């Protein structure tokens, strides 16, 4: 079963339709990294985050799973929509952590990079993430923040991957963008027939000796039988 | 099809728990004409209520454990490493609490214990710091009941393929299920290494059996409830057959908080809480506890009375002691071509070449098995901790894309040493949603486990290497906080001073109280206790029926 290779043209057209034309896609720089986005790429009324928090989450998710020459990322999968919705349902226990963590993160960006996260370009954003992706939070991370820098980042990373690869019913993995990226077909209500790969097709089955009933003394003890 | 679920007000027998053991006992006893009420603390779901949904199955919210699609309805527990530590809340104990129990989502590996497993003390001697004992029964006490479990429940496999298997009178009722890519690679590697890879005996249909369809290789296997009923879970095998007799009622959403005794110290019945926390009392001629190696001792310890001030059936003081899991180690390897392990069963091959090596030669006690496998979990894979690879960014994304279909895991599972200091008791502070004390796990590994772990981690690497994998990453030694294999906490023995139940799973202290589940295990075996639990249940049912007929049980 061959998957259709990812087509950038299809992807661009598709995204424009999906977003209702609200924003344009970022411009690919020479390095292939997507330039930082300012606007929310889809019409979404934020439910559990406010608009600014939502934009930071969206921007973080795009750094975690960037859109690049290899295919779509968090933007196309609508990871931020997933996180926003999940914070009102099955991830409600993390809502407070997002509110305080995002405030700490933005303050950290001001302290360390002299700019709020949203005002940084892609390179600046990458530096911001690198700065907290270490065992101990940097001195520029607010001391009174309830969680450390890396814990905050790991939380957003974990939920970004959920938003990339969850069932689309949860708002992320929009149009199975994440599943297509890794060639996972999703639910399989009718299953699959072997062979599953070249390996099980080509590696010969072991020939086992034919089974013969045990010819030693059968000593099975059955309760209720003498 | 709608099955009867009659209201039985005066049962002969109350079975507490509807998992691997409870469902077998409910079916066997109701078939013999006894009136049975089977109690289940969780809900009664149909297979169609479950879904192929990784997010809910594998990454549930900690506050949403009543969602029917969650496989780990982890009842809360606390954990501490030694009894001097303060226990903290933990989620290490894995169990499903809906009707059918953890058989709903288990891998389904169903092998028989070997003859040596029952007499390790005699064969290998003592081990410092551990309390290894022989079982009061041997393989031949269970052989008939293993066979009965294989045929009644529905196990697929290939008799004669594993040269280390104990003797058996009949082959498996079904041939093995299709081999997965990781199974094929395990075959190739084992042949190179001179090991013996064989088709995993699985509680999964390979052809229509018991009115249920064959496996469809959908890949949503372990941790998911089979949506077509091809997995021989209790919910689609023993439970409907028990209900069809008209002699069995399943009382779900009913949490037993105490087993009550009369003035002679015999079990009189149970007190349980319904969904709305209303208390009810139900009496019977005999009570059977099948709540697993954690919740069985907890219930006994909650059942205090004048006659049993330290908990029911606990005159030995051994209830809750000798907690065992199966220690495990694994390595993950990557390949140049697709395996597509999101297709097929979790585990299609097993290797038992190191099942019980000579302690003098190998420098450790006990042994283990290799269970090469794969899974199709996307979110878990994307979040994997990998050396020298950040969790985020373009390189992580490329790595996920390149490797999701191209890895397998060499899981190795091994023996845990029985230690009296590893225990379940009642947490003094934390309560569950019924207002009852949660089980407190106190567990530390024996140094022998780390020796086993080192040995089997090397075997896992060796297997992957021989299979042609690159980038092999192995797990470090660790101290488990819990597991899905829960054993040892009401151990079986001939001496009432050192064990809780006799060789028929009957409590030494209370003759109409039976305890059937992993808690009766004297040693842990190497992995996969379920078929042995089921065989013990079939055997105990025979014993109860003969005793009832002889009026030894009123």
Instruction: List Cα–Cα distances, B295 to B74, B248, B282, B546, in angstroms.
Output: 12, 23, 20, 28
CB contact under 8 A, A222 and B179: no
pLDDT(B366) > 90: yes
Phi, psi (5° rounding) for residue B322? 60, 35
Maximum distance among all alpha carbons in chain B?
73
User: Angle CA(B315)–CA(B512)–CA(B248) in degrees, nearest 5?
Assistant: 135
* CA–CA separation, A91 and A147 (whole Å): 17
From chain B, the residues in CB contact with A93 under 8 A are 61-63
CB contact under 8 A, A33 and B539: no
In this prediction, residues B323-343 reach a mean pLDDT of: 97
pLDDT in the model for residue B167: 93
Cβ of residue B395 closer than 8 Å to a chain A Cβ: no
For the stretch A108-153, pLDDT in tens is 999 999 999 999 999 999 999 999 999 999 999 999 999 999 999 9
pLDDT(B408) > 70: yes
For the stretch B76-91, pLDDT in tens is 899 999 999 999 998 8
Q: What residue spans of B412-486 are helical by DSSP H?
A: 447-467
Cβ of residue A184 closer than 8 Å to a chain B Cβ: yes
Cβ of residue B277 closer than 8 Å to a chain A Cβ: no
pLDDT band at B46 (very low <50, low <70, confident <90, very high): confident
Residue-wise over A29-49: b if at least 16 C-beta within 10 A, else e? Answer: eeeebbebbeebbbebebebb
In this prediction, residues B126-146 reach a mean pLDDT of: 96
The helix (run of H) or strand (run of E) holding residue B339 is none
pLDDT in the model for residue B61: 73
Q: Which of B552, B537, B549 is nearest to B242 (CA)?
A: B537
pLDDT in the model for residue A203: 98
β B267-273/B328-334 pair status: unpaired
Assess contact for B203 and B231: CB atoms under 8 A: yes
Q: What residue spans of B194-317 are helical by DSSP H?
A: 238-244, 292-302
**B197 vs A133, A206, A221: nearest CB:** A206
Q: What is the residue-averaged pLDDT of chain A? A: 84
Q: Which of B255, B186, B224 is nearest to B42 (CA)?
A: B255
pLDDT in the model for residue A41: 57
Q: What is the residue-averaged pLDDT of chain B? A: 94
Task: Tell me which DSSP letter residue B381 carries.
Answer: H
Phi, psi (5° rounding) for residue B200? -60, 130
For the stretch A147-173, pLDDT in tens is 999 999 999 999 999 999 999 999 999
For the stretch B297-311, pLDDT in tens is 999 999 999 999 999
Tokens of residue B124, six digits: 């290998």
Tokens of residue B40, six digits: 């289940």
pLDDT band at B194 (very low <50, low <70, confident <90, very high): very high
pLDDT(A4) > 70: no
pLDDT(A216) > 70: yes
pLDDT in the model for residue A215: 80
pLDDT(B1) > 60: no
Cβ of residue A93 closer than 8 Å to a chain B Cβ: yes
Cβ of residue B217 closer than 8 Å to a chain A Cβ: yes
ipTM tops 0.95: no
The alpha carbon of residue A146 and the mean position of all alpha carbons in its chain are separated, in whole angstroms, by: 24
pLDDT band at B63 (very low <50, low <70, confident <90, very high): low
Lowest mean pLDDT segment, chosen from A17-21, B99-103, B117-121, B465-469: A17-21
Assess contact for B318 and B296: CB atoms under 8 A: no
Q: How far is A93 from chain B (nearest CA, A)?
A: 8
pLDDT(B403) > 80: yes
Cβ of residue B280 closer than 8 Å to a chain A Cβ: no
Assess contact for B205 and B172: CB atoms under 8 A: no
Q: What domains does chain B contain, in order, with CATH numbers?
A: 11-78+93-106+111-154+233-322+487-554 (3.50.50.60)
pLDDT(B94) > 70: yes
pLDDT in the model for residue B331: 97
Angle between helices A95-113 and A149-165 (to 10 degrees): 120
pLDDT in the model for residue A8: 34
* CA–CA separation, B106 and B484 (whole Å): 9
Q: In what order do the strands lie in the sheet with B279-283?
A: B255-261, B267-273, B279-283
pLDDT band at A75 (very low <50, low <70, confident <90, very high): very high
Lowest mean pLDDT segment, chosen from A9-23, A78-92, B9-23, B129-143: A9-23
pLDDT band at A37 (very low <50, low <70, confident <90, very high): very low
For the stretch A59-68, pLDDT in tens is 999 999 999 9
pLDDT in the model for residue B228: 94
For the stretch B449-493, pLDDT in tens is 999 999 999 999 999 999 999 999 999 999 999 999 999 999 999
From chain B, the residues in CB contact with A166 under 8 A are 54-55, 379
In this prediction, residues B209-233 reach a mean pLDDT of: 95
Lowest mean pLDDT segment, chosen from A27-36, A183-192, B145-154, B520-529: A27-36
* CA–CA separation, B407 and B377 (whole Å): 12
The alpha carbon of residue A171 and the mean position of all alpha carbons in its chain are separated, in whole angstroms, by: 12
């Amino acid at each position: 079963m061959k998957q259709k290779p990812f087509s950038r043209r299809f992807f661009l057209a598709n995204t424009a339709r999906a977003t209702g034309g609200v924003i344009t896609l970022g411009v690919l720089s020479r390095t292939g990294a997507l330039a930082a986005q300012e606007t929310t790429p889809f019409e979404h009324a934020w439910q559990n985050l406010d608009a600014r928090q939502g934009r930071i989450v969206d921007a973080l998710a795009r750094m975690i799973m960037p859109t690049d020459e290899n295919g779509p990322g968090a933007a196309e999968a609508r990871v931020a929509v997933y996180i926003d919705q999940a914070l009102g349902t099955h991830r409600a226990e993390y809502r407070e952590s997002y509110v305080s963590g995002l405030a700490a993160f933005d303050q950290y960006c001001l302290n360390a990079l002299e700019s709020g996260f949203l005002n940084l370009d892609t390179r600046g954003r990458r530096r911001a993430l690198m700065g907290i992706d270490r065992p101990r939070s940097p001195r520029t991370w607010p001391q009174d923040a309830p969680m450390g820098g890396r814990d905050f980042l790991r939380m957003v990373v974990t939920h970004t991957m959920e938003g990339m690869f969850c069932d689309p019913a949860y708002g992320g993995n929009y149009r199975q963008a994440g599943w297509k990226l890794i060639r996972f077909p999703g639910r399989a209500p009718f299953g699959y027939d072997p062979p599953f790969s070249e390996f099980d097709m080509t590696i010969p089955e072991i020939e086992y000796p034919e089974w013969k009933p045990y010819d030693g003394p059968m000593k099975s003890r059955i309760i209720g039988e003498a | 099809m709608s099955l009867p679920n009659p209201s039985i007000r005066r049962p002969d027998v109350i079975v507490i728990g509807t998992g691997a053991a409870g469902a077998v006992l409910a079916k066997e006893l109701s078939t013999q004409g006894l009136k049975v009420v089977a109690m289940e603390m969780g809900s009664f779901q149909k297979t169609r209520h479950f879904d192929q949904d990784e997010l809910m199955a594998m990454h549930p919210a900690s506050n949403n454990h009543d969602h029917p699609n969650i496989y780990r309805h982890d009842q809360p527990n606390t954990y501490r490493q030694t009894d001097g530590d303060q226990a903290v809340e933990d989620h290490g104990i894995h169990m499903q609490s809906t009707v059918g129990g953890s058989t709903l989502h288990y891998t389904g590996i169903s092998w028989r214990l070997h003859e040596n497993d029952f007499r390790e003390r005699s064969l290998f001697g003592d081990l410092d710091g551990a309390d290894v004992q022989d079982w009061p029964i041997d393989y031949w006490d269970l052989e008939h009941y293993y066979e009965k479990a294989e045929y009644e429940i529905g196990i697929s496999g290939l008799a004669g393929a594993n040269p280390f298997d104990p003797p058996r009178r009949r082959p498996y009722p079904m041939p093995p299920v299709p081999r997965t890519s990781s199974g094929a690679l395990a075959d190739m590697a084992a042949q190179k290494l001179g090991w013996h890879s064989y088709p995993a005996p699985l509680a999964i249909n390979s052809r229509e059996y018991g009115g249920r369809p064959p496996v469809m290789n959908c890949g949503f296997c372990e941790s998911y409830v089979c949506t077509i009923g091809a997995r021989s879970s209790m919910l689609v095998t023993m439970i409907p057959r028990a209900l069809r007799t008209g002699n069995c009622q399943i009382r779900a959403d009913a949490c037993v908080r105490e087993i009550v005794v009369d003035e002679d110290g015999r079990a009189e019945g149970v007190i349980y809480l319904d969904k709305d926390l209303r208390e009810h009392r139900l009496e019977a001629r005999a009570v059977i506890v099948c709540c697993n190696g954690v919740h069985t001792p907890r219930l006994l310890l909650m059942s205090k009375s004048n006659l049993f001030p330290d908990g029911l059936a606990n005159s030995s003081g051994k209830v809750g002691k000798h907690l065992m899991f199966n220690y495990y180690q694994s390595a993950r390897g990557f390949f140049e071509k697709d395996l597509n392990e999101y297709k097929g069963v979790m585990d299609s091959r097993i290797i038992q070449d190191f099942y019980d090596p000579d302690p003098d030669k190998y420098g450790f006690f006990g042994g283990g098995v290799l269970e090469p496998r794969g899974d199709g979990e996307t979110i878990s894979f994307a979040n994997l901790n990998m050396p020298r690879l950040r969790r985020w960014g373009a390189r992580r994304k490329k790595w996920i894309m390149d490797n999701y279909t191209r890895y397998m895991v060499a899981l190795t599972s091994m023996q845990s040493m029985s230690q009296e200091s590893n225990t379940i008791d009642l947490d003094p502070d934390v309560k569950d949603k019924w207002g009852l004390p949660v089980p407190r796990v106190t567990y530390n590994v024996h140094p022998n486990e780390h020796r086993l772990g080192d040995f089997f981690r090397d075997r896992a690497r060796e297997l992957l290497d021989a299979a042609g994998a690159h980038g092999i990453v192995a797990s470090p030694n660790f101290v488990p906080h819990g597991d899905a294999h829960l054993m040892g906490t009401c151990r079986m023995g001939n001496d009432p001073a050192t064990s809780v139940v006799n060789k028929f799973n009957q409590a030494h202290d209370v003759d109409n109280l039976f305890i059937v589940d992993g808690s009766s295990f004297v040693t842990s075996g190497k992995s996969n206790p379920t078929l042995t639990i089921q065989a013990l249940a079939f055997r105990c049912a025979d014993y109860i029926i003969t005793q009832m007929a002889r009026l030894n049980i009123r």
